[in-house]
A and B are shown apart, each in its own frame.
Chain A
Amino acid sequence: MTRRELLSLLFSLGAREFGRVLPAQDTKPKSDPVFQVKSPKGVDFVLRNSPTSRKYLIETMPGGVALLDYNNDGLLDVFFVNGGNVRDTMATPINFDRRNPAYWNRLYRQNPDGTFTDVTEQAGLAHAGDANYGMGVAVGDYDNDGFPDIYVTNFGKNILYHNNGDGTFTDVTAKAGVAAGGWSVSAGFFDYDNDGRLDLFVTRYLDWSVEKSKTCGSERATYCPPGTFPAITNVLYHNRGDGTFEDVSIASGIAAKKGHGLGVAFADYDGDGFTDIFVANDATDQFLFHNNGNGTFTECGLDAGAGLSESGRMPSGMGVVFQDYDNDGLPDLLVTQLPHDPYVIFHNDGRGLFSAQELEAGFGVLSGSVSGWGVGLEDFDNDGWKDAFIVQGHVFDNVETYDDSLRYREPPLLALNRAGRFERANPGSDLPVAGRGAAFGDLNNDGWMDVVTTSLGEAPQFYFNRRGQFHWLTITLHGKRSNRDGFGARVQVNGQTRFATAAGSYLSSNDKRLHFGLGSAETADIEIRWPSGIRQVLRGVKADQFIVIEESVQP
């Protein structure tokens, strides 16, 4: 008798087996809240996704949030990507009503008193194109002028806003040649060829259009699974250094693989000095694009052990973060996904190999029945171990009518890292939302990491860290030979490692500053390996401060 036969026999006796995992019941942590959830004065953004009875798939996928200091005043500002106006019947040409202020993307400038001012219009960011339904945002100083630029992804055409340095932005998409097209999702700036200029990677989800849209479900209409629509390639743009980019998707090998790309994150996982790319794919193998160092990439997710979850199944990958969670100096991957299996941890075993270890890391207990999107690995309690924060909510806005054990709106997951194993903690809010984007940064410059999240049809949530006793250090990199943002640098502080990037999460862009919790240590030793190859060491740096480290000119 096989197991299945045994189960079949037991079926009639009541010991039934379900093919899917159902939600956790005991999800309320008993610890003190790590965050205080507040709505800062001046932020009146609402993510308008415009759900319809036609269940256009784009409706359930936005929207991104970025934490950036666009005016270099030392305070983080917040940029939100809005969806658009979708109606049951969409006439051609498609119009998402993005000229209507209700559907604008929004930039909020932080004031010294912690309030925010909507500067969208004066910054020149008010109109996002009527044919564009908003998705995500990437931030990076692509022209090395010291001011962060903004790239907005859309279903439609993407937009690159150049930061003019005077509080305004200019749409330079046409000149730069980075509109992409189709359905772009997450994006990120990184320097894949170490030429000191930030390149741009864009994930694309599906070969989908309003005209090709389908509705799934039998009794009740739902959004169709990704396999309903053809897979599509991601896009890689090489920065020429003259304000234009070249689409090198085919030449680089990126376009050799079609998938259902959603999240993207960057790190040099094999220590060869070149930044690699991980794409979280929905319901297909995950993509790990190894940077060959010659302008080309080889997709090796499955062969490197980073293609499938510990269960051996294809994750419905949504968001991803590429950082070192167990302080072994190697970047690991945390991929969020839909209910069926736990969120996936691909542990970097060294020698260019990964192994799925979400169960060992504790995610079998923390997830498996929830839907994760935006994700970060940040040291929220400054104890020297990166913790996980995940914003959650199911894809289907009517999932409860299908499955009473699943929820469209879910509270976020905060999991504190206890020496490589994650344990549920109190995020400070159990308010369920249809969470999507999440960006991480120190909003109030107190040395403790905060979070801003987005949720469909609602105002964003601001999670302000309540702080504690431990020490910290926050580093701003200033590249000279390397790109100005220092993206791609490996920074090690007192045995911890961070890979400099603003990318990761889902649709979102994080504070580019590198934050380290130092525990009880009052000083820090810092070692930086810049993308240029320059190694720089600082010893005995005092804790509890923000420092700027300029790339040394000597190797």
Chain B
Amino acid sequence: MIHALLWMCLLLPPQSAEPSVPGDALPLLQSGIDAENRGAFDEAVAAFRKAAELAPNTAIVFLRLGDAYMKEHDYAAAIPPLKHAAELSPDSPAVHQLLGYALLAAGYAADAVSHLKMINDPAALGIAQLQAGQAAEAVANLQAALAKSPDDPDLLFYLSRAATALAGQSLDRLRAVDPNSARGHQALGQTDYEMKKLPEAAKEYEQALAMRPDLPGLRLELGQVFAAGSEWAKAEEQFRGEAKLQPGSAEAAYRLGNALLQQGKMKEAAEELKRSDSLSPGMPETLYALGKAAAISEPDAAAHALERVIELEKDTPLAGQAYLVLAQIHRRQGKAEQAARDTENYRKIQALTAHPPS
């Protein structure tokens, strides 16, 4: 994104607030522009440097020098001449734009922000703010930029980064202002979970639950802590509580179904996974788990679920796994040819997605 913006900017002739260039510097300036046009940026830099010595108070010369450095991708070198241009021409948007880009590209995001605020470029400003740790402002500016270019992949990427950073900052704030609240314990639990400190995470979530037992999501997260430690019975208890609290949550039903599946409670698991599928149809993982849970007791229903996984996932590893379970069902049904085809399809996907031993 940065490079694209810079390139777009540099395609435009730099504007200067100061039109007058000393006569002896003009040929050098022209020579530099000619070299630039030929792509000979080394020559251009040399010519602009000499012009700058002859015209130390002319902003356009320093702007051109900074521009040439940036075209060479030497952003750090571009900063001093552009700063000098900004001193000479403090109201020039072109100078602030180029200086903002140079600072951002060189990693001085916080310094770039003040310059980018002086021009109308919410995208670059948002990126600079994100890198400067100003997540909330970054989100606002990136959203504004996206309003103009809704499908720009770079903007979408940076907005997701900014939103994640904002969420992290909010959690940090929560932990700082009220660590003993239910939400505070929840946040601490999440941190412990991320650090794979499972007993500590469980303790925090349990404290949160003791304070606010009806808080949606808490039991889901605590259940996932237990699930991560293969403590499936405890996980089941929490997911069951969440499913009771939020009977419309496909996620809770899926988690509960999977916990039952891991304990080998296939029929119960199948029921819960069917419920999840009815709440939010087309979730491949739910359908895959349903296929496994129902493989023996309801082979036709299981096969149907697995076929839907394959339809949705095409040639991903999950589709490969679905083929394998399907092969197992077909083998049990005595459909040897179909099982062989399923296995062959698994092999094809495996060849696409894995690195077999040499």
The answer to whether A14 and B264 touch (CB under 8 A), given A21-B228, A369-B230, is no
Contacts of B229 in A (CB 8 A): 22-26, 369, 405
Closest 7 CB pairs of A and B: A312-B321, A231-B357, A364-B262, A405-B196, A3-B283, A22-B228, A368-B230
Segment of A106-114, A210-218, A300-308 in the binding face:
A300-308
Report the bound CA distance from A25 to B235 in whole Å.
Answer: 12
Number of chain A residues whose Cβ lies closer than 8 Å to a Cβ of chain B: 52
Report the bound CA distance from A458 to B24 in whole Å.
Answer: 85
The residues in B between 299 and 358 inclusive whose CB is less than 8 angstroms from any CB of A are 312, 317, 320-322, 324-325, 327-328, 331-332, 339-340, 343, 346-347, 355-358
Segment of B6-14, B95-103, B216-224 in the binding face:
B216-224
Is residue B131 within 8 Å, beta carbon to beta carbon, of the partner chain?
A: no
Is residue A17 within 8 Å, beta carbon to beta carbon, of the partner chain?
A: yes
Segment of A68-76, A352-360, A374-382 in the binding face:
A352-360
B247 to chain A, nearest CB (A): 17
Contacts of A23 in B (CB 8 A): 198, 229-230
Q: Could you list 21 A-B pairs, sorted by A, with CB under 8 Å?
A: A3-B286, A6-B250, A6-B251, A6-B280, A6-B283, A13-B217, A14-B190, A14-B221, A16-B194, A26-B229, A226-B357, A227-B357, A303-B340, A311-B321, A359-B261, A359-B262, A359-B263, A364-B261, A364-B264, A365-B233, A403-B196
Is residue B117 within 8 Å, beta carbon to beta carbon, of the partner chain?
A: no
**Contact, CB under 8 Å: B325 / A312:** yes
Contacts of B186 in A (CB 8 A): 14
**Contact, CB under 8 Å: B231 / A25:** yes
Is residue B199 within 8 Å, beta carbon to beta carbon, of the partner chain?
A: yes
Is residue B268 within 8 Å, beta carbon to beta carbon, of the partner chain?
A: no
Report the bound CA distance from A16 to B220 in whole Å.
Answer: 10
Residue of A nearest to B288 (CB): A312
A-B contact number at CB 8 A: 135
Q: Mark each residue of chain B from 266 to 279: 1 if its CB lies under 8 Å from any CB of chain A, else 0.
A: 10000000000000
Residue of A nearest to B292 (CB): A310
The answer to whether A365 and B230 touch (CB under 8 A), given A403-B196, A404-B197, is yes
Contacts of A302 in B (CB 8 A): 343, 346-347
Report the bound CA distance from A258 to B357 in whole Å.
Answer: 8
A2, A13, A367: which contacts B230 (Cβ < 8 A)? A367
Q: Mark each residue of chain B from 170 to 197: 1 if its CB lies under 8 Å from any CB of chain A, else 0.
A: 0000000000000000110010011111
**Contact, CB under 8 Å: B320 / A15:** no
B57 to chain A, nearest CB (A): 52
Interface residues of chain B, those whose CB is within 8 Å of chain A, are 163-164, 167, 186-187, 190, 193-199, 202, 217, 220-221, 224, 228-234, 250-251, 254, 261-264, 266, 280, 282-286, 292, 312, 317, 320-322, 324-325, 327-328, 331-332, 339-340, 343, 346-347, 355-358
**Contact, CB under 8 Å: A12 / B163:** yes
Contacts of A369 in B (CB 8 A): 229-230
Is residue A270 within 8 Å, beta carbon to beta carbon, of the partner chain?
A: no
The residues in A between 16 and 54 inclusive whose CB is less than 8 angstroms from any CB of B are 16-18, 21-26
Contacts of A14 in B (CB 8 A): 186-187, 190, 217, 221
**Contact, CB under 8 Å: B232 / A312:** no
Residue of A nearest to B354 (CB): A314
**Contact, CB under 8 Å: B198 / A25:** yes
Given contacts A2-B312, A312-B325, A359-B263, 20 further A-B pairs with CB under 8 A are A2-B283, A3-B284, A3-B286, A12-B163, A14-B190, A16-B193, A18-B196, A18-B228, A21-B230, A22-B228, A24-B229, A25-B231, A230-B358, A303-B339, A305-B327, A311-B321, A355-B332, A364-B230, A365-B232, A405-B196
**Contact, CB under 8 Å: B196 / A22:** yes
Contacts of B263 in A (CB 8 A): 359, 362, 364-365
Is residue A130 within 8 Å, beta carbon to beta carbon, of the partner chain?
A: no
Report the bound CA distance from A12 to B254 in whole Å.
Answer: 19
Contacts of B328 in A (CB 8 A): 305, 355-356
Residue among A6, A16, A22 with most chain B CB within 10 A: A22
Is residue A349 within 8 Å, beta carbon to beta carbon, of the partner chain?
A: yes
B330 to chain A, nearest CB (A): 11
Contacts of A364 in B (CB 8 A): 230, 232, 261-264
Contacts of A311 in B (CB 8 A): 321
Report the bound CA distance from A364 to B234 in whole Å.
Answer: 13
Residue of B nearest to A10 (CB): B251
Report the bound CA distance from A25 to B201 in whole Å.
Answer: 12
Report the bound CA distance from A342 to B220 in whole Å.
Answer: 22
Is residue A313 within 8 Å, beta carbon to beta carbon, of the partner chain?
A: yes
Contacts of A26 in B (CB 8 A): 229, 231, 234
Is residue A421 within 8 Å, beta carbon to beta carbon, of the partner chain?
A: yes
**Contact, CB under 8 Å: B343 / A303:** yes
Report the bound CA distance from A359 to B232 in whole Å.
Answer: 11
Contacts of A414 in B (CB 8 A): none
Contacts of A308 in B (CB 8 A): 324
**Contact, CB under 8 Å: B167 / A12:** yes
Is residue A361 within 8 Å, beta carbon to beta carbon, of the partner chain?
A: yes
Residue of A nearest to B313 (CB): A2
Report the bound CA distance from A311 to B234 in whole Å.
Answer: 21
B235 to chain A, nearest CB (A): 10
Contacts of A368 in B (CB 8 A): 230, 262
The answer to whether A230 and B230 touch (CB under 8 A), given A2-B283, A3-B285, A16-B224, is no
Report the bound CA distance from A260 to B355 in whole Å.
Answer: 14
**Contact, CB under 8 Å: B357 / A25:** no
Is residue A284 within 8 Å, beta carbon to beta carbon, of the partner chain?
A: yes
Is residue A259 within 8 Å, beta carbon to beta carbon, of the partner chain?
A: yes
